[in-house]
Structure 1
Amino acid sequence: MSRLDRLRERWPVSPRVHAYAAWSALVLFTLIVISGAAVRLTGSGLGCPEWPRCNGTSVTPSNGHAYIEFSNRMITTPVSIAALLCLAFALLRRPYRRDFTVLGALLAVGVLIQAVLGGITVLTGLNPVTVMSHFLLSMATLVVAMTLVWRVVRERSGKPQTPVHDALLVGLTRALTVAGGVVVVVGTAVTASGPYAGGEGTDDTVSRLGIFGDDTFKTVIMVHARVAAVFGVAAVALWLYARIRGARDLSGPLTAVCLCVALTGAIGTLQYHILNYPSWTVWLHVSSVCLTWNALIWSYLAAGRSEHIAAEAEPPPLPREPATV
């Protein structure tokens, strides 16, 4: 018996406790993205201009914007604890599943990389490329957290780990997820080229994304709006197709996607065309994007794999023994 087996015998973790850790990780990984957006939109991105210290003389903050930035750094602590618990509980849970351990390890590694990338972002003066990378890596960790929750829930409910649907429905759902990823990437470019660089509150000059020169902000807004509109129409069309096909297990995730897209679109219209881009609407927009992304990954997982692939993966039937007289 290995040392890990002995630890599992001594401190067994039930699937229920492991599920609590998985859900906590998903919630906390989502919240830290939202809190990070608040740091930038309040102009507090360089409130603590050094890393891992807040400034050259102290680890702790000394003014309002520094407190905002430092508070976001402190949220990393519960996020890290949740990720480590997912890994530890996966190792100790009974029954043991290797894929849960892999997902827990990915969450822990994701936190570490995010911490390092966050430090690089501060040390480079909120370079738009590093800020965009920071946000997109957060989206990747949400994929891992959502996958872990999905598998935990499916196991506890006794349902198949990977659902089976017709090939077209699976392909369209996957394509919708890719399209959603494109919308998110273009959206990061909008923020990176816009007026909220993250240093307004500390009077720091922060460079903006300028791939199209002085018209970058207007250009990426135009591209983002059109891509998002196509994505929204595609989401509604896919929801209708899933209903026609009778894919009831996909109705919930796709309904969530459509509702989140509608909310995000309404906020986008409000911030760009009615209120002239105030910071609080941008924060609401980022928050709704996180919810949309989670719902989209949920839909991807619920789509599963196509029927013919599932049939090919099934082992051939065993030959029947001849009947004996």
Structure 2
Amino acid sequence: MPDAAAPESASTTGEFLTRVQNQDPLAVRAPLRVLAWLSFLAEVIIIGTGGAVRLTGSGLGCSEWPLCTPESLVPIYADQGVHGLIEFGNRTMTGVVGLLALAVLLLTLHAIGGRRLLVRALWFALGGIVLAVVVYIATTTLGPVLGAALMSTALLLSVVAGAADSLRRTTRRRDLAVLAWVVLVGIMAQAVVGGFAVISDLNPFIVGFHYTASLLLVCVTAAFLVRLNAVPGPREPAVPTWFSILSHITGLALAATIFFGVLTTGNGPHSGDANIERHGFDATILAHVHSWPGYILAALVLTLTIASWVQRLQPRKWLLVLVVAILVQVGVGVWQAREGLPELLVGIHMVLASLSAATYTVVALSLKRPAQRSADA
């Protein structure tokens, strides 16, 4: 009888320790917090620099990928002029965003798993770099573009393998680890998509996907900031059911607005290069279609904001921020349409869309709160 009881006791103790570990607040040090904010800001900034590339007609300022020209990694001002500098500046910004995401990931792994998780991630990183170099050397005869694509694919697969290994071993604050890995993997994939955009002569669908993915990364970095200070453990609704349903409908309206906005821009006058013309959808019709979910979105957000303040619900402050952002967006959208889509207003509209999506992400995460039983425990 004692022998039979011992395993059950050990199992219960192990489950208890795991549960306590998952519910312990994470000690967030200043470097992680600062770098997480810088990562979020960098994701917003790269949308602005990417918009500058398109709006100034610099999409093919660097005509090659991964090189800028067939002979040079960097632009030659005498040949590419300012367009080459603008395009290469956006490529450089990708490196900055990637380094910040890597720093956030490593600090996160150290915070939640100590030296063990950190060292394993570094080994995967080193292995990925070695594999990428070997692949590139082995495929140089296929040309620089295909060689770079295969090298990037090898490096991306190594990071995905590292993420799978890390998450399998993470027993505490897995939510933060998942978000940090998603950002890094997303940035690496984005670099490859950007290369395909250049190779395809700025295909509007690839360029639109490139922007949408960047916007989603803004949302993920915003979610990381929210979860960084959140209490771990089970969560329960913090708002009435009808409010939660209406909030998710608002999210669908926001997604539809952004989707039609991307289609509109992809078929408008700002193609990214003076020698490229857009074909396909009628941008004038799309502009009207884009405005319909935009007005519905504004009405829904205003309704949620008023209801949240009347009932003093948890998301009310962020909803107030969201309603201001959406109203400004509507104003800028109407203004740019009446003025013939000036570049500056279009760029502001693109950046505000990402900030609106990030704010909605915070609102969506505020619909739940730590379960009372977890707080009592």
Structures share a fold, TM > 0.5?
yes
Alignment partner, residue 298 of structure 2:
232
Counterpart of 1:192 (choices 266, 272, 276) is 266
Cα deviation for residue 186 of structure 1 reads: 0.6
Return the alpha-carbon distance in structure 2 between the equivalents of residues 33 and 171 of structure 1: 30
Offset of 1:119 from its aligned partner?
A: 0.2
For the pair 1:261 / 2:360, whether they are aligned, the reply is no
Q: Distance in 1 between matches of 2:344 and 2:196?
A: 26
Partner of 1:93 in structure 2? 111
Moved more, 89-98 or 127-136: 89-98
Shift of 1:163: 6.0
**Distance change >3 Å, CA 109–CA 52, structure 1 → 2:** same
SS of equivalent to 1:210:
coil
Tell me what 1:304 maps to.
368
- For 2:46, which of 32, 42, 67 is the aligned residue? 32
With over 3 angstroms needed to count, the CA separation of the structure-2 counterparts of 1:162 and 1:64, relative to structure 1, is farther
**Alpha-carbon contact 1:107-1:144 (below 8 Å) kept:** yes
Q: CA 1:292/1:115 → structure 2, altered by over 3 Å: closer, same or farther?
A: same
Shift of 1:220: 0.4
In the TM superposition, 1:164-313 aligns within 5 A as 164-200=238-274, 205-211=275-281, 216-247=282-313, 249-273=314-338, 275-304=339-368
Letter in 2 for 1:78: V
- 1:57 matches 2:75: no
**CA deviation after TM superposition for structure 1 residue 74, in Å:** 0.3
Structure with the largest fraction of helix = 2
Alpha-carbon distance in 2 for matches of 1:104, 1:210: 38
User: Aligned pair in 2 of structure 1 residues 209, 84: CA closer, same or farther (>3 Å)?
Assistant: farther
Distance 1:199 1:186, change over 3 A: same
- Specify every segment of 5 or more residues in structure 2 that has no aligned partner in the other structure, as ranges: 1-25, 114-171
CA deviations over 1:256-309 (Å, ceiling 9, x no partner)? 111111111111111112x2211111111112112211111111111227x9xx
List per-residue Cα deviations over 1:138-196 (Å, max 9, x = no partner).
Answer: 122122111110011334xx998776222111121122112111101110011001000
Comparing 161-170 and 171-180, the one that deviates more: 161-170
TM-score by length of 1: 0.83
Change (3 A) 1:287 1:163: same
Paired amino acid for 1:111: I
Q: Which residue of 2 aligns with 1:117?
A: 193
Per the alignment, residue 168 of structure 2 pairs with none
Identical-residue share of aligned pairs (%)? 28
Deviations 1:94-143 (A, max 9, x none): 57522211111111100110000000000000000101110111122122
Q: Is the 8 A contact 2:254 2:293 kept in 1?
A: no
Equivalent-residue separation in structure 1 for 2:27 and 2:279 (angstroms): 48
1:130 is aligned to 2:206: yes
Classify 1:88/1:161 alpha carbon distance in 2 versus 1 (closer, same or farther; 3 Å): farther
Contact in 2 for aligned 1:54/1:70 (Cα 8 Å): yes
Q: Which amino acid aligns with 2:54?
A: R
* Residues in 2 aligned to 1:114 and 1:153: alpha-carbon distance in whole angstroms: 28
Kept after mapping to 2: 8 A contact 1:162/1:302: no
- Which one of 34, 47, 51 corresponds to residue 20 of structure 1? 34
Q: Secondary structure at the match of 2:308?
A: helix
Over 3 Å counting, the alpha-carbon distance change for 1:219 and 1:284 in structure 2 is: same
Given residue 57 of structure 2, which amino acid in structure 1 is its aligned partner?
A: G
- Given that 2:59 and 2:87 are in contact with CA atoms closer than 8 Å, whether structure 1 keeps it comes out as yes
Give the residue type in structure 2 aligned to 1:288.
L
Q: Distance in 2 between matches of 1:181 and 1:283?
A: 19
- Higher deviation after alignment, 15-24 or 38-47: 15-24
1:37–1:286 Cα contact (<8 Å) kept: yes
Worse-superposed segment, 91-100 or 216-225 = 91-100
Contact 1:121–1:131 at 8 Å: present in 2 too? yes
- Cα distance in 2 for residues equivalent to 1:194 and 1:246: 43
Inter-partner Cα distance in structure 1 for 2:36 and 2:299? 32
